[in-house]
Amino acid sequence: MTRSTPHPGAQSAPAPEPLSAQEIEGIRADFPYLARPARNGEPLAYLDWAATSQKPLGVIAAEEDFYRRSNGAAGRSTYQLADEATSAWEDAREAVAGFVGARPGELVFTKNATEALNLVALAIGHASAGRGAASGALTRDAADPARRLAIGPGDEVVVSRAEHHANLVPWQELCARTGAALRWLDLDPQGRIDLGTLGVISERTRVVALTHASNVTGAITPLERILPRAREAGALVVLDTCQSAAHLPLDFAALAAAGVDAMVLSSHKMCGPTGIGALVATEDLLEAMPPVLTGGSMIEVVTMTSSTYMSGPARFEAGSQPLAQAAGWRAAVDYVGRIGLDRLHATETLLAGRLLEGLERTPGVRLLGPHDTRERLGVVAFTIEGVHPHDVGQVLDAAGVAVRTGHHCAQPIHAHAGIHASSRASLGPCSTVGEVDRFLSAVTDVRRYFQR
């Protein structure tokens, strides 16, 4: 098995060393979920990190500590608690932005990554309505940055067949509202982007919205081949990094230089709390985007007949914010940063190789993604001949192994594979060789159980 190679946005560094077994055990000691047994009384082998990550003690403590000591109305008063709440909010913005190589002024907090994607799509729709849905011939260096947001009949939005529904449905809705057409990059038999379909990015393309890594196949999108085409078209590029940001070191400055305008993050997949995510976007794009949600906190002057809005991230952060969750997310990126995403990825790559090889040796198992670790994450979807994925999940659960079953909010990629659902194992900071081997043993038992 070969390791993943560099890609746009990945921070360059010497080949990292995988974590030692002793280091992994030290990490596992920080996660309280491991203290409770699985359904069968044995230690839980949690292999559903792609759906949601478990939380280390420091993250739980940070969220609790905010409520205990610093709970106040951020940005609204000058008393001590309010000042501390404001500081916690902005410190979290700086920490999360820095974790992905962005500036604080480029990060908008949202309630999740789905909201962040909808925020961009809705802002484009609002901008288009304001311009009568007449985009004209747009270029990246147009004098009016807002012109890049205008979209209408004759224009096109490009996605891929590998998208999570959160990065597909908002663009379907945008096209339905504006009269634009939806196009997509297709996939090869192993679920990788079929570069033979790059021709769908054309002079009509106004938006290219892509997953950075599939939550079904684990395949990493070949940005180095796609971004030049998008830049030539003058298209706005939106990247869904919910999977990659949790497993790969990212550098938004490098991605932006290569042509990415925005990317979205999900705290709960990065060892952080639920209920908070982020849009990371260039300052030019944030300045051009009209607000989507309006109300308190994002305004400058309000009269009975009109309002003016703040600039930067604040323009998109209306209302009360998830302050405690932000404090927890800051603790999460600090925690993962101390371990090193590069070392975590190297470790997960080795484990993924063991997992893939074991599944390939198991009769009746079909892998949905790439069969090697080249340009992929430790996310492995599979089916077992003659067994429904939900039954697979139940048998594994009885063996103390937790995996995801269903369509994983990605029905089109399953349709591409000719199936409706699959089972999926995914790796994280606490994953071990022993857990992978328990999983493989349980998969063998699944087929034996249903053949009786």
Whether the per-residue pLDDT at 324 is higher than 70: the answer is: yes
- Confidence label for 451 from pLDDT (cuts 50, 70 and 90): confident
In the chain, which residues fall in CATH 3.90.1150.10? 21-46+340-451
Matching CATH number, 21-46+340-451, of 3.90.1150.10, 3.40.50.620, 3.40.50.300, 3.30.1280.10:
3.90.1150.10
CATH node for 62-337: 3.40.640.10
d(CA 258, CA 10): 12
Q: What is the per-residue pLDDT across 108-153, written as a single tens digit (0 to 9) for each?
A: 999 999 999 999 999 999 998 865 444 443 333 444 567 789 999 9
Q: What is the pTM of this model?
A: 0.94
Contact 413, 216 (CB under 8 A): yes
Q: What percent of the chain has pLDDT over 90?
A: 90
Q: What is the per-residue pLDDT across 371-412, written as a single tens digit (0 to 9) for each?
A: 999 999 999 999 999 999 999 999 999 999 999 999 999 999
What is the per-residue burial (b if ≥16 Cβ within 10 Å, else e) of 195-210?
Answer: eebbebbeebbbbbbb
**C-beta neighbour count of 363 within 10 angstroms:** 8
- Confidence label for 83 from pLDDT (cuts 50, 70 and 90): very high
Q: What is the mean pLDDT of residues 296-312?
A: 95
- Longest Cα–Cα distance in the chain: 74
Torsion, Cα of 395, 439, 377, 419 (10° steps):
-30
**C-beta neighbour count of 287 within 10 angstroms:** 13
Q: What is the per-residue pLDDT across 436-448, written as a single tens digit (0 to 9) for each?
A: 999 999 999 998 8
Q: Which two tokens stand for residue 141?
A: 């260096």
Q: What is the per-residue pLDDT across 39-74, written as a single tens digit (0 to 9) for each?
A: 999 999 999 999 999 999 999 999 999 999 999 999
Burial class (CB in 10 A: 0-12, 13-18, 19+), 65: middle
Contact 9, 265 (CB under 8 A): no
Whether the per-residue pLDDT at 359 is higher than 60: the answer is: yes
Of 351 and 5, the structure prediction assigns the larger pLDDT to: 351
What is the model's pLDDT at position 9?
57
Enumerate the active-site residues.
409
Mean pLDDT of the chain: 93
**3-state DSSP assignment of residue 140:** coil
d(CA 423, CA 410): 13
Q: What is the mean pLDDT of residues 142-169?
A: 89
What is the model's pLDDT at position 450?
83
Nearest Cα residue to 429 out of 35, 42, 18, 62: 18
Nearest Cα residue to 56 out of 88, 82, 34: 34
Rounded (10°) angle between helices 57-69 and 80-99:
150
Q: What is the mean pLDDT of residues 199-212?
A: 98
